[in-house]
């Protein structure tokens, strides 16, 4: 086989006699890279679902209304549901390209991997079934990636006017910079952004390098982000690529969910020590400080408790301003109290268990791990 040297290429393209030709060719290449539709990605939307056909219907309705005209597909992965979404998916066959896949129950992370392995796209967009997409969503994603390509991105979540007051209050507690430091989606986020699996984009390369999501749940999304960073890949926050994310409509379900967030964060801190952030410890420190302030109040020291009163008044005022409702402002204060208590106790309890026990996280917290089928 004849080996073609650099000088052969140089002679073939007259680069020695006309060096400016190489510059022109290079400029043309970069120009074409920026021309819309020249290098188009094909997107595969990956949606795991478990007993939520009504949510799937609403999500597919929003997908069918996308203004994006490029190539994309939607894969609905039924994770061993007893209430099937197959008929709902079939009803959208003439409205958008959608594929229905059924598998045995093995959790959302494994279901997303299952879908990505069978998708035909160059770039995967991972969504929860309880999300709704604004019409411009895919356009915003495509515009961003054409100009600032990264192997993983995430977008924020928002509330619609149709959400209940409790959902709006929980949405505020979960997304406000005053409560989470913007960790779930904000340009003011404290530290590197960790995309969340309710609204996450992942390149095929990133999936192949990392193997996708792990068995832990919740917490599989920050775990994947950290492994992406370790592999030298970058993540980004795309503000315009937001979704409307429905929240738990029960205070108890919200408590249970956020407590699991605290427990899994303790596990991730053990697995990935370099990923520890101050914001992860704030709910626990908040609780300890509150107990100290109550103790001081019992002996007539009022100063410290006023810090907490001022903070709750700030939460009320900020939520009222955003949601235009005093009721939602009060509910937001309650949601923040639940969030800090459940996350703080979950994080502290799990951290102590991991420190004092020789057992693995899987042995200590079996309910936080799915078994692969």
Do residues 110 and 220 make contact, with C-beta atoms less than 8 angstroms apart?
no
The pLDDT score that the predictor gives to residue 99 is 98
Q: Please state which CATH number belongs to domain 43-250.
A: 3.90.550.10
Q: At which residue do the structure tokens 């054409």 appear?
A: 146
**CA 35/CA 271 separation, integer angstroms:** 43
**CA 9/CA 14 separation, integer angstroms:** 8
**Predicted model pTM:** 0.83
Read off the pLDDT band of 233 (50, 70, 90).
Answer: very high
Task: Please check the confidence at residue 26 and state whether its pLDDT lies above 60.
Answer: no
The pLDDT score that the predictor gives to residue 21 is 53
Task: Please check the confidence at residue 178 and state whether its pLDDT lies above 70.
Answer: yes
**CA 267/CA 26 separation, integer angstroms:** 48
Q: Is 31 helix (H, G, I), strand (E, B) or coil?
A: helix
Q: What is the average per-residue pLDDT within 182-200? A: 70
Task: Please check the confidence at residue 38 and state whether its pLDDT lies above 70.
Answer: no
Read off the pLDDT band of 192 (50, 70, 90).
Answer: confident
- Cite the residue boundaries of each domain of the chain with CATH code 3.90.550.10: 43-250
String of DSSP letters for 83-144 = S--HHHHHTTTTTS-EEEEEE----HHHHHHHHHHH---SEEEEE-TTEE--TTHHHHHHHH
**Mean pLDDT computed over every residue of the chain:** 88
C-beta neighbour count of 11 within 10 angstroms: 12
pLDDT in tens, 105-157: 999 999 999 999 999 999 999 999 999 999 999 999 999 999 999 999 999 98
């Amino acid at each position: 086989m004849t080996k073609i040297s650099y000088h052969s290429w140089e002679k073939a393209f007259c680069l020695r006699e006309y060096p400016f030709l190489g510059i022109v060719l290079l400029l043309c290449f970069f120009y074409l890279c920026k021309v819309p539709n020249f290098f188009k990605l094909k997107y595969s939307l990956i949606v795991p679902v478990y007993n939520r056909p009504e949510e799937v219907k609403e999500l597919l309705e929003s997908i069918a209304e996308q203004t994006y005209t490029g190539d994309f597909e939607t894969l609905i992965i039924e994770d061993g549901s007893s209430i099937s979404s197959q008929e709902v998916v079939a009803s959208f066959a003439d409205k958008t390209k959608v594929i229905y896949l059924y598998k045995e129950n093995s959790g959302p992370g494994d279901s997303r991997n299952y879908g990505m392995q069978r998708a035909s796209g160059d770039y995967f967009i991972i969504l929860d079934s309880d999300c709704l997409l604004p019409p411009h969503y895919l356009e915003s994603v495509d515009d961003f990636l054409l100009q600032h390509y990264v192997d993983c991105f995430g977008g924020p979540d928002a509330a619609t006017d149709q959400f209940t007051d409790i959902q709006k209050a929980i949405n505020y507690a979960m997304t406000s910079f005053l409560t989470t430091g913007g960790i779930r989606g904000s340009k003011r986020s404290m530290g590197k952004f960790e995309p969340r699996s309710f609204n996450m984009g992942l390149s095929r390369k990133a999936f192949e390098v990392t193997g996708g999501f792990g068995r832990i749940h919740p917490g599989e999304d920050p775990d994947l982000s950290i492994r992406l960073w370790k592999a030298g890949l970058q993540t980004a926050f795309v503000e315009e690529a937001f979704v409307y994310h429905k929240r738990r409509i029960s205070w108890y379900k919200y408590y249970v969910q956020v407590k699991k967030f605290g427990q899994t964060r303790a596990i991730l801190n053990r697995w990935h020590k370099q990923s520890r952030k101050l914001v992860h410890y704030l709910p626990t420190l908040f609780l300890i400080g509150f107990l100290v302030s109550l103790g001081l109040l019992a002996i007539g020291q009022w100063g410290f408790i006023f810090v907490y009163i001022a903070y709750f008044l700030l939460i009320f005022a900020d939520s009222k301003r955003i949601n235009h409702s005093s009721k939602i402002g009060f509910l937001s204060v309650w949601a923040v109290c639940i969030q800090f208590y459940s996350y703080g106790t979950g994080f502290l309890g799990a951290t102590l268990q991991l420190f004092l026990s020789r057992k693995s996280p899987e042995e200590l917290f079996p309910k936080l791990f799915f078994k692969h089928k």
